[in-house]
């Protein structure tokens, strides 16, 4: 459920670009990621699984035709993973936790079942929106928790 707001909410969005292993199908990649890997921290006893994360999303890539050139160009990644954090401090604390030696090898071993590499680009982004739609507005939606 969402309520609209005109306030801009400052959050940190982390994005990771992921390539699946060549020897697994996209269907198997999605299945393993959604049913195993995305639940790994929880299964390893982390409570909560991603401390201070506000949203955790996987976006699976389907290359499409470029409307200007007609080419279909694969971007080199199969999934864009996004996590939203309330602050830089929350993001940095989570990154420190993910690198904890007590869990790091288990996490990396699970990633090797899924990803072409453990070495994936990790970025934070600053978003800028443009007005759209019939009313030329920037839609705002913030979570409402009961």
What is the per-residue pLDDT across 55-103, written as a single tens digit (0 to 9) for each? 999 999 999 999 999 999 999 999 999 999 998 899 898 888 778 888 8
| Residue 136 belongs to a domain | no
| Residue 48 belongs to a domain | yes
| Residue 27 belongs to a domain | yes
Please check whether residue 32 is in contact with residue 97, taking contact to mean a CB–CB distance below 8 angstroms: no
CATH number at residue 107: 3.30.70.100
| Residue 135 belongs to a domain | no
Residues of the domain holding 78: 11-125
The total number of structural domains in the chain stands at 1
Bigger pLDDT: 146 or 35?
A: 35
| Residue 131 belongs to a domain | no
Q: What's the pLDDT score for residue 116?
A: 93
Task: Indicate the pLDDT class of residue 146, thresholds 50, 70 and 90.
Answer: very low
**pLDDT tens digits, 122-137:** 999 887 778 777 777 7
| Residue 72 belongs to a domain | yes
In the chain, which residue ranges form alpha helices assigned H by DSSP? Answer: 26-35, 40-43, 88-98, 101-112
Please check whether residue 140 is in contact with residue 7, taking contact to mean a CB–CB distance below 8 angstroms: yes
Please check whether residue 144 is in contact with residue 42, taking contact to mean a CB–CB distance below 8 angstroms: no
Please check whether residue 85 is in contact with residue 93, taking contact to mean a CB–CB distance below 8 angstroms: no
| Residue 6 belongs to a domain | no
Which pair of tokens denotes residue 122? 């990790």
| Residue 110 belongs to a domain | yes
Mean pLDDT score of the chain, rounded to an integer? 84
């Amino acid at each position: 459920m969402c309520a609209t707001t005109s306030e801009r909410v400052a959050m940190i969005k982390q994005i990771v670009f992921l390539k699946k292993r060549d020897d697994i199908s996209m269907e198997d990649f999605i299945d393993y990621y959604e049913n195993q890997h995305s639940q790994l921290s929880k299964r390893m006893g982390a409570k909560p699984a991603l401390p201070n994360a506000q949203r955790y999303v996987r976006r699976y890539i389907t290359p499409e035709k470029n409307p200007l050139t007609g080419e279909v160009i694969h971007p080199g990644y199969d999934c864009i993973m996004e996590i939203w954090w309330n602050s830089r401090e929350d993001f940095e604390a989570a990154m420190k936790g993910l690198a904890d030696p007590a869990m790091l090898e288990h996490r990396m071993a699970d990633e090797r079942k899924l990803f072409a590499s453990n070495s994936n680009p990790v970025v934070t982004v600053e978003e800028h929106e443009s007005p759209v739609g019939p009313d030329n507005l920037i839609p705002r939606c913030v979570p409402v928790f009961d």
